[in-house]
């Protein structure tokens, strides 16, 4: 089932928002990541990218390793895909596919600079013995624009992902799919403007969405954490939650305070180099859901 922003969406049943840390429990996760061995900003396909600004690849690798080690310290598994020379954005593993219910919906990138990443990630899944993999017909950029929230798939469009891919993803993954329209080019992927905190809980920046999509989000998640423009501007919402711990950019201090007040444990990390290409913790992290 696919629901668009023009549909009437009934709000979910009332629930109690978490207020103290003891009410939240982290669950074990498996993540796929790709070392930024060949990371560079050689072209500009989003407003964050400026090829004239120097990039320190060694620092990017160190920051990435710290992120991977953070996940491991939190008790999660980190698997790695081998980077490919000539694909500087392959570090952004979240864009490589969407995985839910043990099924893999492959990515099909909008820009030719990233086209080869889709097949590279799909080959990894096939070699890793994922039984159900689907090569996308329609343009989509994986978990950049598809976020799993419980049994629901929030699906972004406006800059990268074809709305037809929302229907395709719904069929492949077997999830109810909600279409959301992004309107600010700085937030070109859904995961730059919205973070999944738990199976019924999200954080998001309203200014990234059309007014109709804001209404849909409010109806579905009336208790959502609302980020302000300052935290969104440092990609604070490009964060990864295990249901208790939220790994987010260290600059998003205001959002960290809000999360702490809601019972989450903010875990700040430094990813300044990768942000030069428009990426944060979530961009680097593809969750492998059984």
Note the pLDDT tens digit of each residue in 99-114.
999 999 999 999 999 9
Give the rounded distance of the alpha carbon of 191 from its chain centre.
Answer: 4
Residues of the chain where predicted confidence (pLDDT) is lower than 70: 1-22
Instruction: Sketch out the chain's domains with CATH numbers.
Output: 25-287 (3.75.10.10)
Strands, E, within the chain: which ranges? 2-3, 30-33, 77-80, 97-100, 103-106, 132-134, 146-149, 152-157, 176-181, 194-198, 201-204, 225-226, 240-241, 245-249, 265-269, 286-287
In percent, the amount of the chain with pLDDT more than 90 equals: 91
pLDDT score for 145: 98
pLDDT digits (tens, 9 = 90+) for 115-133: 999 999 999 999 998 989 9
CA pair distance 279, 97, nearest whole angstrom: 16
Cα Rg, the chain, nearest whole Å: 17
Active site residues: 189, 283
Chain CA centroid to CA 232, Å: 14
pLDDT of 4: 41
């Amino acid at each position: 089932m696919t629901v668009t922003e023009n549909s009437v969406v009934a709000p979910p049943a009332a629930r109690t928002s978490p207020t103290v840390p003891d009410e939240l429990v982290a669950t074990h996760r498996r993540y796929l990541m790709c070392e930024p061995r060949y990371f560079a900003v050689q072209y500009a396909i989003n407003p964050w990218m400026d090829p004239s600004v120097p990039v320190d690849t060694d620092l990017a690798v160190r920051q990435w390793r710290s992120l991977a080690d953070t996940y491991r310290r939190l008790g999660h598994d980190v698997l790695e895909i081998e980077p490919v020379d000539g694909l500087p954005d392959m570090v952004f593993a979240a864009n490589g596919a969407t995985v839910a219910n043990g099924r893999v919906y492959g990515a099909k990138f909008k820009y030719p600079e990233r086209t080869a990443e889709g097949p590279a990630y799909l080959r990894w899944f096939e070699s890793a013995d994922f039984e159900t993999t689907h090569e996308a017909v329609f343009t989509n950029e994986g978990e950049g624009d598809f976020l799993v929230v419980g049994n629901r798939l929030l699906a972004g469009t406006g800059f990268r992902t074809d709305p037809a891919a929302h229907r395709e993803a719904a069929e492949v993954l077997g999830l109810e799919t909600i279409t959301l329209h992004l309107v600010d080019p700085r937030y070109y992927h859904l995961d730059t403007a919205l973070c999944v905190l738990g199976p019924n809980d999200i954080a998001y920046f309203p200014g990234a969405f059309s007014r109709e999509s804001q209404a849909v989000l409010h109806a579905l998640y009336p208790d959502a954490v609302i980020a302000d423009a300052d935290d969104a501007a440092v990609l604070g919402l490009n964060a990864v939650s295990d249901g208790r711990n939220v790994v987010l950019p260290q600059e998003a201090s205001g959002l960290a305070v809000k999360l702490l007040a809601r019972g989450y444990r903010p875990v700040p990390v430094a990813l300044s180099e990768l942000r030069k290409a428009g990426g944060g913790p979530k961009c680097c992290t593809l969750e492998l859901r059984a």
